[in-house]
Structure 1
Amino acid sequence: MKTKPITYLAAALALAVAGSSCDHDEIYEPLDFAVRLAPTNTYRVGEPVVFNFEGNADYITFWSGDVGHEYRYRDRTTMPKSELETCQLTFSLSRRSGSNTGDVQVYASDRFEGLAGDNAATDKATIEAIEAGNFADWTRLEVNEESKSGQWGTTTCNLLDVDGNGTALTDNFTLLIRWHPKDVTAQRNYYINTSLEVKFKNRESTLLSYTDLQFVNFNMANEMAGKEYDTYSTGSKIGYLQYGQNAGNIILNAIESGTMCPYLIDTWIFSTPMSLNLTSPDTGLSIKGVTDDVKSYSYTYDKPGTYTVTFVVANGNYQGESGIQTYEVTFTVIDPIE
């Protein structure tokens, strides 16, 4: 007898849910949002600018309008080349023993399409063509190599002017490190560190490490002809190179326990061609979710200027989010009063 009321209750709840689902579209509340600058704002560097919100927005994303956070650049992946201020390559080399110099040569180019990385015959022909053409499309960089072993020699190169005549290597930059000793009886170990600093005007500089340069190596020694499985090999054994060691980004191994590599080493190490005007899209900051109660937001600017702040807002209902809308506010920030 006690099951009847429960049955009636379940039926009533089912009818209520069915009825409410029919009315969802009418219950949905359109997006209503406004942003106003606080009347107490002074708009000076180092003092917060306060934005007051009105309406029913469930989601708010804030774009401050300063460098790296401009809504208009949300999809930008490249900067104008005219905005490049610094492209400095740093290359450090340390010969671990012996007195011979010049075993490691360094070149740069913007006309190389890269190695296949998985086709030994094709890559071997590509490298042979470079050498046969006497490095016609490459600029040789003079490497500072210390005469005393165990010391570090560091070379810096301005890729915006590699030859002193205004030649820039920024469109399709490739770094080539060739490890080719003059004599099989005088091959030595080397440590190498390399990095690339890129800076655009009015922006922070970015330091690209050797991992960002994405090196691909190719072993060209005649004694290894036909051993395609060794062509791209790396490792600690003699005649090969290692990446990412504490002593150096790249370690060239010619000697192991006093035993020298039995063949004349000829290893070519190419960075993957890259445009140096690449940049990350600007970003905004989510300041409100559907469960947050945010009536205002403040932001402090560290440089004077005219800023356009963008708020990207949306509302939510049982079907998902409403269409996204944007709201802009423009104002000028001045230097503080001293």
Structure 2
Amino acid sequence: MKTYRLISLGLIVWAFAACDDGLDKDISVAGVTVAQDENVVCEGVTVNAKKGEPIVFNFDGEPDNIVFFSGEDGKSYDFRNRTTIDISQIESSKLTFTIDTNYGYGNATSYADVLHMYVSTNFGGLYKDDFEADCKQVEEFQWDELVPVEELPTNISQTHSYEVDMTPYLGQNITFAISYKGQDLANIQGRYNFTDMKITNVYKNGKVTEVPAAEFGFNALNISPAYPDSEQLKNLKYQTSLWDSESNLIVGNYQYATITVGYDVAGMWNTSAISTSNRFYIHASSRNTQVSDVTLKNTWLVSDYIVVNSCSPDQGVTIKTMSNRLSSYEYTYDEIGTYKATFLMTNSNYKHEDAKVVTMVINVK
């Protein structure tokens, strides 16, 4: 049976004492102690623990709420409001993706000058409620090429993989844009499949993070045909946002729509799998032979602003609320290292909230 000794630890970073706020308990008396045994030893304000061995934290003062930040990657109190990574900490940043043209027909003419991929650090962004203005600005804007057009697929059944250095764009708001514009009605307007598009950041400490295409905020601009034949859109009958109560096409919704439910429509972007398998594509369109409604397709896919070195704020775990009692909490560190463990403790009512932060150094060997 283990024998425990208790030692009070914690550097109080900040605390507000209750005044005339009606709080029943004084947050200033709340504290944290650590149970010591042969695997957990305290030296001053440092807790020395063995890898894989549980640490037991005990609580004094009965705070209403406690949120625990272990200090591991993604769980640091100091980074709870951080949304970008310091550029100096990034070793490399790359955009990678694959394009293939694996449709069963077409020829080199079907793909000649149809696809363009762009990037910009000063595009003003889509209005998203003024289609005419959005069309004008994307087509007249001076984009930079993300991938030189001569390096994009030039024929049927080709697969090309790409790697683009993103370090020149660190710290900037960038916009990606993909333009698909049919060139010749006498030929098939080809299909392009995009897979595994993501930005990968490698940090100097060895950590790797990825931002998938699903987080780029892509929006379509379906410029042509502006008013598609209703027969084409029957495949989208389950995409209810496109139709009014009498099954009439809501043109304003179609103009910015991607296919998310239903079957493919010629010349429209399909993003139904972008969040699950990081895949999207634009469907091929027929040549003008015995089909009266065939038009040259002109459509864009434009991202929201992307900050290459963006990150999600670190998160703590709520271990106590007003609805549960908690006198102790057990946590195990599975990797060797030094961590800054933090407890955010609060007392609150409908008028006021008092908070106290207790931190300690956890040295895992």
TM range (shorter): 0.7 to 0.9
Partner Cα separation in structure 1 for residue 166 and residue 209 of structure 2:
15
- 1:98 counterpart = 2:106: yes
Distance 1:238 1:55, change over 3 A: closer
Partner Cα separation in structure 1 for residue 273 and residue 24 of structure 2:
60
Map Cα deviations across residues 245-286 of structure 1 (whole Å, 9 max, x no partner). Answer: 699512233129986673333323222222122222111112
For 2:72, the equivalent position in structure 1 comes to: 66
Distance 1:93 1:109, change over 3 A: farther
Partner Cα separation in structure 1 for residue 217 and residue 124 of structure 2:
14
Show the 5 A alignment for 1:110-189.
110-130=121-141, 135=143, 137-141=144-148, 143=151, 145=153, 147-149=155-157, 152-160=159-167, 167-168=168-169, 171-189=172-190
Partner Cα separation in structure 2 for residue 277 and residue 27 of structure 1:
42
Show the 5 A alignment for 1:294-309.
294-309=326-341
Q: Is the 8 A contact 1:244 1:250 kept in 2?
A: no
Greater fraction strand = 2
Map Cα deviations across residues 147-177 of structure 1 (whole Å, 9 max, x no partner). Answer: 443x5433232322xxxxxx33662222221
Distance 1:232 1:44, change over 3 A: same
Q: Cα offset for 1:59?
A: 2.4
For 2:218, the equivalent position in structure 1 comes to: 215
The match for 1:30 among 8, 11, 26 is 26
For 1:87, the equivalent position in structure 2 comes to: 94
Return the letter of the residue paired with 1:120. F
Q: Where in structure 1 are there 5+ consecutive unaligned residues? A: 1-24, 161-166
Q: Cα offset for 1:124?
A: 3.2
Partner Cα separation in structure 2 for residue 220 and residue 27 of structure 1:
60
Q: Alpha carbon RMSD of aligned pairs, Å?
A: 3.6
Q: Cα offset for 1:120?
A: 3.2
Q: Cα offset for 1:301?
A: 2.0
Count residues with an aligned counterpart.
Answer: 295
Partner Cα separation in structure 2 for residue 140 and residue 26 of structure 1:
63
- 1:272 counterpart = 2:312: no
For 1:9, the equivalent position in structure 2 comes to: none
Partner Cα separation in structure 2 for residue 33 and residue 169 of structure 1:
43
Distance 1:308 1:27, change over 3 A: closer
Q: Where in structure 2 are there 5+ consecutive unaligned residues? A: 1-20, 41-47, 228-250
Q: Is the 8 A contact 2:218 2:304 kept in 1?
A: yes
SS in 2 for 1:174: strand
Q: Cα offset for 1:200?
A: 5.3
Q: Identity rate of aligned residues, in percent?
A: 25
Q: Is the 8 A contact 2:116 2:178 kept in 1?
A: yes
- What TM-score results when the alignment is normalised by the length of structure 1? 0.72
Distance 1:46 1:115, change over 3 A: same
